[in-house]
Chain A
Amino acid sequence: MIYTLNAVTKVYPTRGATVRALNGVNLEVSAGECVALIGQSGVGKSTLFRLLNATQRPTGGLLCFNGQEVGKMSGRELREMRRTVGTVYQQHYLVPSLSVLDNALCGRLGSWSLLHTVRNAMSPAKHDVEVAMGVLESVGLADKRRVRADELSGGQQQRLAIARALMQNPDVMLADEPVASLDPALAEAITNLLVRLVTDSKRTLIVSLHGIELARRHFPRIVGLRQGTVAFDVQSASLNRDMLDEVFQPDRPQMQIKESTQTDASQGRKICCAR
């Protein structure tokens, strides 16, 4: 098992109320799997990704990576785990003022020494440039290597973000809504690219998506999230209407559950009365 999650919770402390983003998630993902996560905005998908790439800590429950408990890792082990997990974000999170090549090279920071980083910041080593150009080639950006990242189009930026994650040579690829801000044709192309790049090299892929059709077409396993828990976890062939209804119930507020004070609720009622 690459990931084992047992009753994982994540609570964000905010003023007046605590926001429970994840509420007991149980999930197992084995090496080489391709999993799609679906669910409405605010059900905790992004939070889940931040736990899976160890940029945040779970509040409760057990999260294991390759059989090792994440909560007991040392700083060095955490960094090593982050290096083996590549993450692609919805808004790609590129460094705007760096060139395409430099952004791709950023993916290798985890395996460089500080001295090598400084040297490469001034002028990149030949070997590193070759690796980066190979990866940029595979996402179709080789000819743009000198362009500033913020001068790329949305689809190109997303491909660059994928290239940066690939530069890590990761065992696991995580992609949080990688196509949410792209048009349907581009979304299809990017999803295709991700799946192809990952399955070619037998990596594990976990992607969160809005489009159910996209998920069903490309991913053998689909996990539905609702209110911070796993609502269903099925083969995509057996996905049915009821399951989708459960996850995408339109009439129920599905934003984060707020454990707020009671006055909040009663005030809400008062406003209703006033209407």
Chain B
Amino acid sequence: MQAKGAKFAVLASGLSVPHKRRVFARRRLAGASALVAALILCWWVAEVHPSALFEAGAMASVWSFLRGLFPPDLSLGFLRVTVAAVGQTLAIAVVSTVLSIVIGLPLGVLSSATLWRRGVLHEGENESSGMHLIPVVSRLSRALLGFLRAVPDLVWALLFVVGVGLGSLAGALGLAIAYGGVLGRVYADVFDDVDSRPVEALYASGATRAQIFLRAISPQAGPRITAYTLYSFECSLRAASVLGFVGAGGIGYEINLSMRLFDYGQVLTLILAFVALLSANDALSRFLRQRLSTGAPGRSSVRRLMESALSSAVEWTPRGRSHAVGGAATRIMWLIFATAIFASFYAIGFADGRLFDVGILERAARFLGAMFPPDLDLAFLSSLVKPFFQTIGISVIGTLIGIAFGAFFAPFATSTLVFVATDAAGKHSLAQRGARSLIYYAARLVLTLLRSIPELVWVLICILAVGLGPFAGTLAIGIHTGGVLGKLYAETLEEIPLKPIEALRASGARPLQILFWGMWPQARPMLTSYTVLRWETNLRVSTILGLVGGGGLGQIIYINIQLGFYARLLTLIAVIYGLVLAADGITDRLRRRLASA
């Protein structure tokens, strides 16, 4: 019946069909040429000149860099420096995460739509209840979170460096603000995402908002909140590793110093130490996250985490455990946890009263005062046009390079592809299987390397090859993004349903055929979604590459801070905010379009 209806509709629209198709084709052509033009523009403005890579000088300096890396500097004196730097990085990450929770949780609660603006908690209230102002406050809080999030973390750190002075305190505060914005938004989304039916039931029994939040929303939101906070800690750790590039402490300071002193052996030691720290954290948080889904009912997730960390060796059985032992163990875990946090705060310099020093407060106030009013001089604004588009160009071309790298390595890092048909006994010899394993682990290693070295370090390396400027930034983003996307692509390919692939394999398809006919169609929406999201991240990153000589708006920020033109700084922050906001809107629409197409 439906088919007949459709036929009828086609007949009804009659002759207009070919015309429509023609219009559609023309529009498509126009869209494609606009895209090509935009890409050429990006290429040009990002000053991409691949030939620079193959000049003799470039090759020589990259070679001397690579040779200089080995052997890593393992002298006792430098190891001590490395350990201190790693410790400081860790402390910055801990402090900034704690502070970002302190910032994010209240703002997140205030921004939650379920609690303050719409849904079941509002339909039963009479007009007289005097709650007119709260939705406005809630919206403002959400906008504030958006702003905190949109300004890149390194820019926040830089602002604090100018405001409260060089060192890890500035770094920790900067990261706290940036990640407070992220956490607040995520918390609000998680609160709004919980099953609203228990919320309605408690509301119907006469519970207040605070009670509903405590007993219906937070028990449901707990696991996701904890998991995301752990993830945020990991992000802080990565960010803390590059804070030193703007003088805000941590291991980045040492990396920057050693790079500039051409002590590449030290650079390798530092990078290895940092990668080790990241992998340790990765293993720990994966373990904690796995534990998170099990546990006794009604416990707060953090408490459950503490307990599960202890009971790792034995199978977790909430009812079979004696209460006294669990209580003591939990208390010990809490004690360790609290000590670690306290030590971190101490190490960052919260204890020496610097934060409440009158001189520093006065200096911060003067800095803030100097930012207002923002510099809107036409000459200055027009000088921003080129770096503005350069930032966009760097992010676009960088992402394209990243896609190329990622797409090249991903198939080799996909276990379901590399080890195809090894399960059929006798199909492959031992040597063949060994070769395949070698390819697989080599690809994984390359991707991990590309990804765990931060963009800013890549910028320094690329500067060695192609010199200062946007091309170095573009290459750096491309290389790092390649590692990130390669891993995401490989994981996506591994996670798609295997049934259709088995059918293809059964019909004798080879790996490449399986990739294109079995995996690509299934994985495409996820792949494009990841890629578009990554572009948005890269846009944020490309606003700060200039801080170390990678072109774009970051360079202007750096220059104006050096010159003390703080009013211009405020203008620049506003420009970045607008840019990120626009990118947010574009990626949202793009992802929706690509998902439906």
Q: With a CB–CB cut-off of 8 A, which chain B residues contact A168? A: 205-206
Q: A55-B123, A96-B195, A98-B298 are in contact. Are A117 and B204 (CB under 8 A)?
A: no
Partner of B198, one of A87, A95, A114, A274: A95
A274 touches B5 (CB 8 A): yes
Partner of A74, one of B126, B200, B216, B319: B126
In Å, the complex CA distance between A168 and B208 comes to 14
Indicate the size class of the contact surface on chain B. Answer: 35 or more
Complex: chain B residue closest to A77, CB-CB: B126
A146 touches B126 (CB 8 A): no
A274 touches B8 (CB 8 A): yes
List 21 A-B residue pairs with CB atoms under 8 Å apart, sorted by A's residue number: A54-B204, A55-B123, A55-B124, A71-B126, A74-B129, A75-B128, A78-B124, A82-B204, A87-B204, A91-B197, A93-B197, A94-B198, A95-B198, A95-B215, A97-B220, A110-B205, A112-B211, A117-B215, A164-B201, A274-B8, A275-B1
Q: Which residues of chain A (229-269) have a CB below 8 Å from chain B?
A: none
B200 touches A55 (CB 8 A): yes
Q: A93-B197, A97-B220 are in contact. Are A72 and B297 (CB under 8 A)?
A: no
Q: With a CB–CB cut-off of 8 A, which chain B residues contact A146? A: 296-297, 318-319
Contact with B along A63-97 (1 / 0, CB 8 A): 00000000111110011111111110101011111
Q: A89-B197, A121-B214, A275-B4 are in contact. Are A56 and B123 (CB under 8 A)?
A: yes
Q: Which residues of chain B (194-248) have a CB below 8 Å from chain A?
A: 195, 197-198, 200-208, 210-212, 214-216, 219-220, 222-223
B211 touches A99 (CB 8 A): no
Q: With a CB–CB cut-off of 8 A, which chain A residues contact B208? A: 79, 109, 114
B206 touches A55 (CB 8 A): no
A72 touches B298 (CB 8 A): no
Residue B423 at the chain A interface, CB threshold 8 Å: no
Indicate the size class of the contact surface on chain A. Answer: 35 or more
B interface residues with partner A (beta carbon < 8 Å) = 1, 4-5, 8, 120, 123-126, 128-130, 195, 197-198, 200-208, 210-212, 214-216, 219-220, 222-223, 296-298, 318-319
Partner of B207, one of A74, A96, A110, A165: A110
Partner of A95, one of B129, B130, B211, B220: B220
Q: A71-B126, A97-B219 are in contact. Are A55 and B203 (CB under 8 A)?
A: yes
Complex: chain A residue closest to B196, CB-CB: A93
B205 touches A89 (CB 8 A): no
Q: With a CB–CB cut-off of 8 A, which chain A residues contact B319? A: 146
In Å, the complex CA distance between A20 and B130 comes to 28
Q: A98-B219, A148-B297 are in contact. Are A117 and B211 (CB under 8 A)?
A: yes
Complex: chain A residue closest to B6, CB-CB: A274
In Å, the complex CA distance between A110 and B1 comes to 55
In Å, the complex CA distance between A71 and B1 comes to 49
Partner of B214, one of A71, A84, A118: A118
Q: With a CB–CB cut-off of 8 A, which chain A residues contact B4? A: 274-275
In Å, the complex CA distance between A62 and B98 comes to 52
Partner of A55, one of B120, B129, B318: B120
Q: A74-B129, A102-B298 are in contact. Are A57 and B211 (CB under 8 A)?
A: no
Complex: chain A residue closest to B220, CB-CB: A97
Complex: chain B residue closest to A57, CB-CB: B124
Q: A97-B222, A98-B298, A106-B216 are in contact. Are A80 and B206 (CB under 8 A)?
A: yes
Q: A57-B124, A274-B5 are in contact. Are A93 and B198 (CB under 8 A)?
A: yes
Residue A107 at the chain B interface, CB threshold 8 Å: yes
Contact with B along A119-133 (1 / 0, CB 8 A): 001000000000000
In Å, the complex CA distance between A80 and B204 comes to 10
Residue A185 at the chain B interface, CB threshold 8 Å: no
B123 touches A95 (CB 8 A): no
In Å, the complex CA distance between A81 and B208 comes to 13
